[in-house]
Chains A and B, each alone.
Chain A
Amino acid sequence: MTDFALSGPRPASGPRKASTVVGLIFLVASALIGGNAFGTRERLWGSETPTARAPAASRDVGAAAAAGGATETTAPAPPTQSVLRSQPWWQGVTTLDGAGTTTAATFTIVPGALQWRVRWTCDTGHLLVRAPSQTRPVVDAACPGPDVGYGARTGPITLQVTADGPWHLVVEQQVDVPLNEPPLAAMTAPGASVVARGSLYRIDQVGTGDVLVYRLPDGTYALRLDNFFVTANSDLEVQFSSLDAPHSTDQVAHATQVSVATLDVTTGSLNFMVPPSIDPVQYKSVVMWCEVQHSAYAAATLRPA
């Protein structure tokens, strides 16, 4: 086989020389892109990785704004952006009350929201709720009754309510950003202490982060998951287990376990009040459990703090 431009010892003509240079530049450029130098590969061809977004600071936008004056869903500055996504969860946006036909107060659905919903109640007649740019009404139902209507548009929303009597609307948006709750006030109050802590490890799925058990000044207990991530699923719960260091679903299933809370958010830093009927001191580990799959996703061995 004859040698071509790159190999020949023959004197190179102008075009040959140019094509050789272009070929070598192409190779070097390929090497740089292949190594994703300066993020070139992802800039050029796009990314499957979710765009980094600011986590939510509260389960309720309105409460967060009232408490700290923060913007709707972003954590207090400086926001720590994250590419991790949680199992989609519902975040409270606002509550609207009224009677008869009216234009409700404007609320804002964040751009990254997957959808939003209105949980409504009314007493008499008919309730019709319309959102701008949405052909189908959000709610079109006879009263009395509680039910849910859905919307998809993001940004400022002003609902047009047509009703025959009083009505009550709870607006929530579904987001998949992490939830970074600050520690509860009682956790940092005088008399509160961390009684046990541990680090999550994988069992059937991915689980990372720290688990802290607080004894609060009033004698109750609270659980905090810090910098937490568990593989997303909609049916997870946090449990205490009698096992010291569970390493399989079978072990967890055959030990004493008690549910602390449903895990609607699967990424971030979260607080849970431990039900008064549970004494955390009796247990040796925390397990992220999926009842539907009957699977222990992750666990953390608790050690006295």
Chain B
Amino acid sequence: MSAPTVAPAASRPHLTVGGQQIPVVLPNRRDPRLKLSAVIITLHVLGQTVLGFKVSIAQILVTMLVCGLIDAAVTFRSGRMLVWPASGILTGSSIAFILRASGTRHGDWWSLHGIQFFVLAGVISLLSKHLVRPTGRHLFNPSNVGIVWCLLVVGPNHVFAQYLWWGPNHAGVAFAYAVIAFGAFWILRSVRMIPMAVSFLATFAVLMGIFALVGRSFFAIWHVGPIQGLSYWATIALSPEVLVFVFFMISDPQTAPKVPSARVIYGAAVAVVAAALLFFQHTEFGIKVSILSSLTVVCAVVPFLEAAVRHRQLQRALAADGAGAGTDAPPEAEPPRVPVPSRPPLVTVLARLRRPAVAAAVVIALAAPVDTALLARNRQALLIERGEVGKANAQ
């Protein structure tokens, strides 16, 4: 095998390996994923410096590297092209932003403690992206599935999600809020996801307010006693962690609906499912998993949601056309009858379960909420959050 040589700049970038030209696709400045990466990396920097995130630089880099390599390898295998794995790197960065390995200390920058959990989450994320494609494109948000899998399967004993409360450094937290708000406007505007985000936030804030009023509470390892009342509402509804989730995770254009009105329903649906799952949770761990799982559940029904919205839109358009035709056409003429495409009946959906990708999607979509709901009675999570496991902070 001859040594790889880079082609002249004038031609399309490619590598020549063994006489074979392999196209190379480099990052594009206008790619919104680069914007998202910039925002997440800024938050990572804040987390490492002023916000006391319990994640090491080594954990972040390894996760990004593993996800990037897997994504690049899969893309190369399918297209014989070397594509800059922007999505894979972003998936790794998102995983390291949310996932934590219990026992990692802030400031231990080169620690590889619990790195297996980050790698596992990355592998699961990319497997779901490249293998579970019932509609020809990936159904689930990759990093979301990987993190939810890790939190549920590995469990509160070894992993947890970044705290809802980002610490006592008010200036640092305020700066993080500013970065999130700026990033949200910068990114969501370009992918037309602002209505979706508003839909989520409004629905979620109202539901959390109702929960606070009816006396719901939860325990968190960083708090003395239960969190209830206004603190319950503020800690969950205004958490920077939740804002990152809504602005930078559920807004993924690849897994969100394409139709604008469906996006608004999608945002509200994620909020409602998150609220339904977290209502019975007594721990911060359970609440965070509930919020993350809600996206897994709703992503699974996005094709149906989109089909339903398109169907409704088409019906309206046809009705409008029919009405228009009625006024313009001669009185004796019948308006043209165009068959309205019907939604797939349940029988068809069940028949599709024979397809492995559909079966896999159904298992994921059912297991995530059921396992999350079961966390509400998980004694271990409660003991950890209440600090009753014999360690001051088991996380």
Contacts and interface: CB of A to CB of B under 8 A. Distances in A.
Interface of A: 1-7, 9, 20, 23-24, 27-28, 30-31, 33-36, 41-42, 45-50, 83-85, 176, 202-206, 231-232
Contacts of B131: 4-7, 23
Contact of A206 (B79, B102, B137, B225): B225
Given A34-B367, A45-B155, A49-B383, A3 B133 contact: yes
B174 interface: no
A35 B383 CA distance: 18
B136 A7 contact: yes
Contacts of B79: 1-2
Nearest to A31: B367
Given A3-B136, A27-B360, A206-B225, A42 B149 contact: no
A5 B356 contact: yes
Given A23-B131, A42-B155, A83-B383, 8 more contacts: A6-B132, A30-B153, A36-B378, A41-B153, A46-B157, A50-B389, A176-B390, A232-B388
Contacts of A28: 363
Interface string B44-80: 0000000000000000000000000000000100110
* Interface-centre pick from B102, B130, B136 (highest chain A CB count, 10 A): B130
B113 to A, nearest CB: 15
A165 B133 CA distance: 85
B370 interface: yes
Given A20-B356, A34-B367, A49-B379, A7 B157 contact: no
A24 B394 CA distance: 33
A290 to B, nearest CB: 11
Nearest to B357: A7
A34 B371 contact: yes
Interface in B356-388: 356-357, 359-360, 363-364, 366-367, 370-371, 374, 378-380, 383-384, 386-388
B158 interface: yes
Bin the interface of chain B by size.
35 or more
Leading 3 A-B pairs by shortest Cβ distance: A31-B367, A34-B152, A7-B357
Contact of B153 (A33, A85, A203, A205): A33
9 contacts: A1-B79, A3-B133, A7-B134, A24-B363, A36-B155, A36-B371, A49-B383, A202-B226, A206-B386
A134 B81 CA distance: 67
Contacts of B359: 24
Contact of B363 (A31, A49, A83): A31
Nearest to A2: B78
Contacts of B226: 202, 206
B154 interface: yes
Interface string B13-42: 000000000000000000000000000000
A49 B356 contact: no
B371 A31 contact: yes
Contacts of A206: 225-226, 386
A47 B389 CA distance: 10
Contacts of A35: 152, 367, 370-371, 374
B146 to A, nearest CB: 12
Given A2-B78, A5-B356, A48-B394, A27 B364 contact: yes
Contacts of A7: 131-134, 136, 355-357
B54 to A, nearest CB: 16
Contacts of A49: 379-380, 383, 389
Nearest to A46: B157
A39 to B, nearest CB: 10
* Interface-centre pick from A23, A42, A48 (highest chain B CB count, 10 A): A48
B157 A42 contact: yes
B224 interface: yes
Nearest to A1: B78
A197 to B, nearest CB: 24
Contacts of A83: 379, 383
Contact of A48 (B127, B136, B224, B383): B383
Contact of A204 (B75, B224, B355, B394): B224
A33 B363 CA distance: 13
A6 B379 contact: no
B378 A45 contact: no
A34 B154 CA distance: 7
Contacts of A24: 356, 359-360, 363
Given A6-B131, A6-B132, A28-B363, A36 B374 contact: yes
B390 A23 contact: no
B225 to A, nearest CB: 6
Contacts of B78: 1-2
Interface string B125-169: 001001111101100000000000100111111100000000000
A5 to B, nearest CB: 6
A47 B386 CA distance: 15
Contacts of B356: 5-7, 20, 23-24
A84 B79 CA distance: 57
* Interface-centre pick from B102, B134, B137, B153 (highest chain A CB count, 10 A): B153
Contacts of B225: 202-206
B236 to A, nearest CB: 20
Nearest to A297: B225
Interface in B178-223: none
* Interface-centre pick from B79, B133, B226, B386 (highest chain A CB count, 10 A): B133
Contacts of B371: 31, 34-36
Contacts of B389: 48-50
Contact of B380 (A33, A42, A85): A42
Given A2-B78, A27-B363, A35-B367, A47 B133 contact: no
